[in-house]
Amino acid sequence: HQDNNKLLIQCVDGFLEVTERLLAEDDEITLLVAVGGFYLQQEKIIFKRNAAGLVRKMLTFFEDRQLDGLKIYQNVTYASLQDITAFARILNKCSRQENPFHWLSAEMAGDRFPWIEVIDPSQTESLESFFADAVATSSTAASSSPGQKIEPSRSVKDSGYRAGEYTREDKRRVAPPVEKKQQKKKLRSSTAGSRQKQRQRKQKKAMRTYGYAMNSLQTLSQKLSAGRYAGIGKAVHMVQNMVDLIMDDDNVLLGLSTIRDYDDYTFTHSVNVAILSVCLGNRIGLSRALLGRLGLSGLFHDLGKIDVPIKILNKPGRLAEDELAELQKHSLNSVRRIIRLRASYDKKAEILLPPFEHHLKYDLSGYPKTPRNRPLTLLGRIVAIADVYDAVTSQRIYRSKFLSPDQALGLMLKGSGTDFDPILLKVFINMLGVYPLGTILKFDNDEIGMVTSPPDKEKGSSELWVLLLQDNGDSTYTKRYLMSLGTWNQERGGFNRPILESCHPSELGIQPAELIF
C-alpha cells in the first residue's frame, strides 16, 4: 500500500495508540518471542482460542526473520507515518535475505529508526532456557509420619492412569478386589504426581517473578540515578504475580525470600521485604488490591538509598553522627523518589506512607523525627516488621554478627509493643514458625539439616520438615533426604528429634534457595 492508503493510516494510528497507552507507565516496551509464545513486558500474552491462527502467523513472521524481540522507546510518539511504514517494509523485505537478522541490523544502522531496537538473538539465548521447562523432578512424599524419610531422587512412576479418568462406569464395573486395589493405588499415584508437577510449575513461576522483580528494581534505580524518568509498569506486573503466587501457596515465595546477596544487598533486600510483607498481609486477610499496594511499598521502601553515598552504605563499623544523619534521610528520600516516578497520582499516593514509616517504630520513637502523634498505618507496620527481619538475618560489611532466622525472631520479640505492632509480630512469628525456612539445625550424631517447606501442601503442613545435608568436606553440601521432625511437643519442650543448636546458613556457605528449589 501507498502511505496515503486509509487502511494503512488506520493501522499506524492503532499502533501508536497502543504504544502510547503502554508507555504511560514505562520507558520502553519489550516484546519477546520464547517457547512458542509472545511475552510483553516479560509477561506471557494470553490469547483466546479464536486468535490462535493469527498468533501462529505472527510467530512464523518473527521466525522467518530470525527475530527474537523488539524494543520500542518513548520517542516513538514523534515517529512519522513514513518512519513507521518504512520500518514495516524493511521487516517484510528482510525475510527474503540470506541472513535476515544481519541484513536488518545493517538497514537499521545509525539513527534511521531511533524509536525502535531489534533484540540481538545472542542476548536471548538464556531467555529460552529460562522460560523452558527445566526444573528437575523433585521429591514426592510417601508418608508424613514423624521421622519418615523421603528420598529426593525418588519420583512417582508414570502409571498411565491420569486423575479424572476414573469414571462412574469404572466404579459400577464389577472387578476383583485385587484389581480395585490396583486402581486405587494408580489413582493415588497419579494424584500425587499431578500435585508434584503443579508444585514445580509454581516454583518456576516464583523464580521468574523473583528474577523479574530484581531486574525491574535495578533498571528503575539506574534510571533514577542517571536523572531519567522511570515508570513502574513492570514492577506492578511483577508484584501482581507475587500476590497471585502467595495467595495460592505462600511457602513457594517464602523459600525464595531466603536469598541473600552480599553484593546486591539493597535489591535482594527490597524484593525479600516485598515478599515477606505480602505474605504477612495475606495471613491477616488483606484484599488482593491492598496486597498489591503492600508489595509495591515493600519493593520501593529503600528507594531513597540511591541518594546515600556508597562510602556510607558500605562503611565498616559504626557510622559517625553526620553519616548516620545522612543515612536516616533515606526514608524521606524514598517518598521524594516515588513522587517523581512515571505513574498516576493515585498509584503513587497509595504507596507513599509505608516507605516513610518503616523506621518510625510502633511507638514513633524512630526516624525521621516528626511532630505527628497518629499511629502508623497498617501497611507501614507490616513493612517495618519485614524490613527488620530480613536486615538482621543478612550479612553486611558494617555488621560483625548476623542472626539465624530463629534468633532474629527472638530479638524482634523483645521489641514487641515498642518497635513493632505486637499483634502483627505474633502473626509473623506464627507464619514463619519456630524455625523459619532456611534455618540450619544441628542434631546429635553430627548431622545437619536445613528447615524447608513440607513436600506436599496437603501432607504434614503443621510439622517441621528438614532437608538433611551431606558435608562434602570442601565447603559444599549435597541433599540427602527430607525428614519430618513432627510437631512441637509441649511436655518435652521440643520436636521428635533433639536439636542441639541452630545457625545461619551463611556460616556454612549455604544459599537456602538453591537447595529448596
In a shared domain, residues 206 and 304 = yes
pLDDT value of position 165:
37
pLDDT digits over 96-152, tens only?
Answer: 888 888 898 888 876 678 889 888 765 544 444 444 443 333 333 333 333 444 343
Which residues, in sequence order, are CB contacts of 267 under 8 Å at separation 6+? Answer: 214, 217, 218, 221, 261
pLDDT value of position 122:
55
CATH number at residue 292: 1.10.3210.10
The amino acid present at 101, given as its one-letter code, is F
Is 280 contained in some domain? yes
pLDDT value of position 234:
78
* pLDDT category of residue 158 using cuts at 50, 70 and 90: very low
Q: What are the DSSP calls for 442-457, one per residue?
A: EEGGG-EEEEE--SBT
Q: Which domain holds residue 413?
A: 195-431
The amino acid present at 62, given as its one-letter code, is F
Count how many domains the chain has.
Answer: 2
* pLDDT category of residue 497 using cuts at 50, 70 and 90: confident
pLDDT digits over 321-363, tens only?
Answer: 999 999 999 999 999 999 999 888 889 999 999 999 999 999 9
In a shared domain, residues 110 and 201 = no
pLDDT digits over 503-516, tens only?
Answer: 888 888 888 877 77
What is the pTM (predicted TM-score) of this model? 0.66
pLDDT digits over 29-86, tens only?
Answer: 889 887 678 888 877 788 888 888 888 899 899 888 888 889 898 888 778 888 899 9
Instruction: Specify whether the CB–CB gap between 454 and 252 falls below 8 A.
Output: no
In a shared domain, residues 81 and 215 = no
Residues 377-401 have a mean pLDDT of 87
Is 40 contained in some domain? yes
In a shared domain, residues 121 and 201 = no
Query: What is the Cα–Cα distance from 467 to 451, expressed in whole angstroms?
Result: 6
pLDDT value of position 82:
87
User: Which domain-ending residue is among 431, 461, 484?
Assistant: 431
pLDDT value of position 434:
84
pLDDT value of position 170:
38
Query: What is the Cα–Cα distance from 189 to 186, expressed in whole angstroms?
Result: 5
Burial of 385 (0-12, 13-18, 19+ CB in 10 A): buried
Q: CA end-to-end span of the chain, whole Å?
A: 53
Is 334 contained in some domain? yes
Is 174 contained in some domain? no
In a shared domain, residues 119 and 248 = no
Bridge partners of 448? 442, 469
pLDDT value of position 295:
96
pLDDT value of position 169:
40
Is 165 contained in some domain? no
Q: 38-77 burial, b if ≥16 CB within 10 A, otherwise e?
A: bbebbeeeeeeeeeeeeeeeeeeebeebbbbbbebbbebe
Is 454 contained in some domain? no
Is 387 contained in some domain? yes
Residue 229 has pLDDT above 60, yes or no: yes
Query: What is the Cα–Cα distance from 291 to 45, expressed in whole angstroms?
Result: 23
In a shared domain, residues 80 and 206 = no
pLDDT digits over 167-223, tens only?
Answer: 334 333 344 455 555 555 554 555 555 666 666 777 777 787 788 788 888 888 888
Is 252 contained in some domain? yes
In a shared domain, residues 99 and 226 = no
Q: What are the DSSP calls for 235-267, one per residue?
A: HHHHHHHHHHHHHH-HHHHHHHTT---STTHHH
pLDDT value of position 461:
65
Query: Which residue has better confidence, 385 or 104?
Result: 385
In a shared domain, residues 114 and 251 = no
In a shared domain, residues 207 and 92 = no
Query: What is the Cα–Cα distance from 404 to 417, expressed in whole angstroms?
Result: 23
pLDDT digits over 237-289, tens only?
Answer: 788 888 988 888 777 778 777 776 655 677 889 999 999 999 999 999 999 99
pLDDT value of position 130:
43
